[in-house]
Amino acid sequence: MTETSQANPDNLLSQSALATFLQWLAIAILVYLLISAVGMIGDGFKGATRGQADELFQFATNPFMGLIIGILATAMIQSSSTVTSIIVGLVAGGLPVETAVPMIMGANIGTTITNTIVSLGHVRRDKEFRRAFASATVHDFFNVMAVIIFLPIEILFHPLEKIGGFLAGLFVGGEDMSVKGFNFIKPATAPVIDAFTNLSNLISENAASILLIIFGIIIIFLAITLIGKLLKKLMVGRAKVIMHRAIGKGPLTGIFSGAVVTFLVQSSSTTTSLMVPLAGTGVFRLKQIYPFTLGANIGTTITALLAATAISGETAVFALQIALVHLLYNTSAVSLIYGVSFLRTMPVRGALWLAKVATQRKSIALAYILGAFFGVPAFFIFITNQF
């Protein structure tokens, strides 16, 4: 080996430190773009609806329609963080919070498709497939149960909306009605928003607001995908430490570590999908996977909260309100369903049963995925349009 080709440990170390620094810098830029894009959607939506957002979203005032929109949108792009960030932007643009709440609930269900698809990779070994499929669908059953319990209560009494509104009022205020402590966000994001507004105007003055929304959605999707990829690389070591510490501890530690790992990688789909191969090997039991998966539901709410910091002005309070509704909904669902023993076992029993029949007839698994995430929602849209 020549002298030049020999690796100098000091050089390697500084190269690795530089690579890490660049990756964190990229994340910072992407978070900046994400926040700017949420602002773009808000501005674009305001411009497109000219203050008549509730009329435009009249079709979604039916809460079941809102729920279905949330499910379909999230299942299609496989990212609840993207959908909830877009919803925050739409609320900032005038979408009523009441209309947005079922959409947030739907996003929770839609995101479960990702780990269910990951579990299909174990199809060739029956035992492994059964365990993997059960570990994935326990999340589905839990999220559907949460909607069955919380949506009717929300329609009748609006507790999440009211508590979210109260808490948002504590954080948002002041002369310019922006999130306290985040007043610098608007001037900071203005250059990006202005640049895309000008670009949209250049392309088409008539459709500039719509184009701004489309740009916003694309940027949010790309930013969240790239942030997720970078954080996966950067945070895998930290995630390992957290998971090592959680092994052999109780379910509360499982929920906590699930939330922290999701916060670190900024993706509940990644966290819940990660559990699937661990369950498939049989080394982790469904009982251990279940609380970790629920923690992911809580950890993922940080993205919408981050997105809400992008909004200033009179709608800032509503943007933060819907982000807080997301957090409140997921923590309440975990506390209630996991806290009450007969409710706690229902998702597990449902998942074990479905995994058993899906292992016996694989076409049931396929029918389940296509039906639950696309067929049933589409059918409900059809029915709603008929009456």
- Give residues in contact with another protein (CB under 8 A): 78, 114-115, 117-118, 120-121, 123-124, 232, 236, 239-240, 243-244, 247-248, 270, 273-274, 276-278, 281, 283-284, 362-363, 365-366, 369
- In angstroms, what is the minimal distance from the CB of 291 to another protein? 15
Q: Which is nearer to another protein, 198 or 281 (by Cβ)?
A: 281
Least distance in Å: CB of 120 to another protein?
A: 4
Q: How far apart are CA 312 and CA 92, in angstroms?
A: 9
SS3 call for 61: coil
CB of 259 to another protein, least distance (A): 17
Closer to another protein by Cβ: residue 277 or 371? 277
Contact 45, 215 (CB under 8 A): no
Cα–Cα distance, 297 to 75 (Å, whole number): 16
- Distance of alpha carbon 345 from alpha carbon 92, whole angstroms: 39
Q: Nearer to another protein by C-beta: 120 or 177?
A: 120
- φ/ψ region of 361 (left if φ > 0, alpha if ψ in -120 to 50, else beta) reads beta
Q: Which is nearer to another protein, 97 or 354 (CB)?
A: 354
Smallest separation (angstroms) from another protein to the CB of 146? 23
Is residue 132 within 8 Å of residue 280, measured between CB atoms?
Answer: yes
Specify the residue, 142 or 368, whose C-beta has the smaller distance to another protein.
Answer: 368
Please identify, using beta-carbon distances, which residue of 278 and 308 lies nearer to another protein: 278
Nearest to 137 by CA among 254, 275, 246: 275
Q: How far is the CB of 362 from another protein (least distance, A)?
A: 5
Q: In sequence order, which residues have a C-beta less than 8 Å from that of residue 380 and are 6 or more positions away? A: 64, 65, 68
CA distance linking residue 217 with residue 40, whole number of Å: 9
300 contacts 112 by C-beta, under 8 angstroms: no
β-partners of residue 172 are 179
- As beta bridge partners, residue 178 has 173
Classify 181 in phi/psi space as left (phi over 0), alpha (psi -120 to 50) or beta. Answer: left
Sign of the Cα pseudo-torsion (198, 30, 292, 281, in order)? positive
Query: Quick one: which of 100, 68, 60 has its CA closest to 84?
Result: 100
Nearer of residues 14 and 281 to another protein, judged by Cβ? 281
Provide the minimum distance between the beta carbon of 239 and another protein in the complex, in angstroms, as a whole number: 7
- Which one, 271 or 309, has the nearer CB to another protein? 271
Minimum Å gap between C-beta 86 and another protein is: 21
Least Å distance between CB 265 and another protein? 9
Residue type, 235: M
